């Protein structure tokens, strides 16, 4: 071997770094699009798409369209997981990013209620459905690419980087909104300024697609394709049914472990926008400035969120890993993130008699559910991802 030829370990290190970077960039872009909607729902969508209501009711209606995106996420996880477990992770990541980009760009072009009446919120809901469907397939593929490319000893470290794409996307969305609010009057921002971040997403999506198209398929999945094909014996490989049959406990553990993290996150990043605006009367630029600082620092949320990628990947076998991890993750988002803004605002009550204690109790209950899920989980650190209970059972039968 010449002095200029890298060792095998070095080539592997460069490979995982490239995969991690691509996963981080793509995830950040996709979640920029997804979180941008939440911030806009809290700040402007109530007035633009649901006029005639008082501020709190208008925001609740806007959060209703926001929750629709979460309802579509499990379906996206199932569909993308199905094909991701059959044809590969990379292709599904490219499709999900393109779908998210088109939906987000379309929101930036939508006419408001004042222009086309009730058709405006209907179109908004349709775009949000496409956003939710796309992001439902994003998380599982992105974290699996990092987990399955990396070595078992540092899987938690490598897998945590795609997780950082989620708060990074939120940080970018908040940063763009903050800049626009700072250089525009509230009237200009409400009239047209809010559209700019949605239209800018097209540039970010193109960057994300370029990076993702340079990736190679997951080596763990590539090795398992032959076994998966052999397992079928002429029958169709149905990852969702196999997850339900073989890994039901793991799905509930994944869901439970997300409750505290997911509910608290959307209260801190979405509900707080409405609270300080509608309940405390703060200006838009001050609200976004506070959220920008919080998104950069993350409080203690990252301590709960970062290990999920590696742990959820280890729960499921290779032939159903994309589906299993996505379903567990996204179902929790429906019961946690989707409902958190609506439940929290209902618990808060009116601005004149706000009840912040009720919201705190809500978060405590979610935390208790997560603790129970952790107690039922088994330690999987350092275990090989080349395991598959579904394939093993098929061979034994």
Confidence of residue 390 (pLDDT cuts 50, 70, 90): low
In angstroms, what CA-CA distances link 169 with 318, 350, 383? 28, 31, 30
pLDDT at 294 over 90: no
Q: Is 91 exposed, middle or buried (0-12, 13-18, 19+ CB in 10 A)?
A: middle
Confidence of residue 262 (pLDDT cuts 50, 70, 90): very high
Where do the domains of the chain lie?
Answer: 13-218+225-396
In angstroms, what CA-CA distances link 281 with 40, 41, 84, 286, 287? 17, 17, 46, 10, 10
The secondary element (H helix, E strand) that includes residue 211 is helix 195-212
Using the Cα atoms of residue 105, residue 31, residue 18 and residue 254 in order, give the sign of their dihedral: negative
pLDDT tens digit string along 335-358?
Answer: 898 889 889 989 998 888 889 999
- Token pair listed for 393: 């059972």
| More reliable by pLDDT, 42 or 320 | 320
pLDDT at 13 over 60: no
pLDDT at 8 over 50: no
pLDDT at 256 over 90: yes
pLDDT at 227 over 80: no
- Token pair listed for 33: 């699009």
Instruction: Note the pLDDT of residue 393.
Output: 57
For the chain, the average pLDDT equals 84
| More reliable by pLDDT, 70 or 102 | 102
189-200 mean pLDDT: 90
pLDDT at 26 over 60: yes
pLDDT tens digit string along 138-178?
Answer: 888 888 888 888 888 888 898 888 888 888 888 888 888 88
Question: Does the reported pTM lie above 0.75?
Answer: yes
| Architecture of the 13-218+225-396 domain | Up-down Bundle (1.20)
């Amino acid at each position: 071997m010449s002095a200029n030829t890298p060792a095998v370990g070095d080539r592997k290190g460069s490979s995982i770094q490239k995969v991690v970077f691509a996963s981080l960039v793509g995830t950040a872009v996709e979640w920029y699009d997804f979180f941008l909607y939440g911030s806009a729902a809290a700040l402007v969508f109530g007035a633009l798409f649901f006029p005639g209501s008082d501020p709190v009711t208008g925001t609740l209606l806007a959060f209703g369209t926001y929750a629709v995106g979460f309802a579509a996420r499990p379906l996206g996880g199932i569909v993308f997981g199905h094909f991701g477990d059959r044809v590969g992770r990379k292709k599904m990541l490219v499709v999900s990013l393109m779908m998210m980009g088109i939906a987000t760009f379309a929101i930036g072009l939508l006419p408001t209620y004042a222009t086309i009446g009730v058709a405006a919120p209907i179109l908004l809901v349709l775009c949000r459905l496409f956003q939710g469907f796309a992001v439902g397939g994003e998380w599982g593929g992105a974290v699996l690419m990092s987990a399955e490319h990396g070595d078992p000893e540092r899987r938690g470290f490598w897998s945590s980087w795609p997780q950082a794409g989620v708060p990074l996307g939120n940080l970018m969305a908040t940063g763009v909104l903050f800049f626009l609010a700072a250089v525009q009057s509230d009237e200009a921002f409400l009239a047209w300024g809010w559209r700019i971040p949605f239209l800018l997403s097209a540039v970010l999506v193109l960057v994300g697609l370029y990076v993702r198209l340079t990736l190679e398929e997951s080596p763990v999945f590539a090795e398992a394709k032959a076994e998966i094909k052999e397992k079928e014996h002429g029958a169709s490989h149905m990852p969702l049914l196999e997850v339900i049959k073989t890994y039901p406990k793991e799905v509930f553990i994944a869901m439970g472990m997300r409750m505290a993290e997911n509910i608290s996150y959307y209260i801190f990043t979405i509900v707080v926008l409405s609270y300080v605006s509608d309940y405390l009367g703060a200006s838009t630029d001050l609200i976004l400035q506070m959220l920008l600082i919080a998104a950069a620092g993350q409080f203690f949320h990252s301590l709960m969120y970062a290990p999920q990628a590696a742990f959820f990947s280890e729960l499921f076998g290779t032939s159903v890993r994309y589906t299993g991890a996505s379903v567990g993750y996204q179902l929790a988002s429906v019961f946690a993130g989707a409902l958190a803004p609506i439940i929290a605002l209902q618990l808060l009550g009116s601005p004149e008699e706000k009840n912040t204690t009720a919201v705190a109790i809500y978060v405590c209950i979610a935390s208790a559910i997560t603790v129970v899920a952790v107690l039922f989980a088994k330690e999987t650190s350092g275990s090989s991802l080349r395991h598959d209970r579904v394939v093993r059972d098929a061979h034994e039968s």
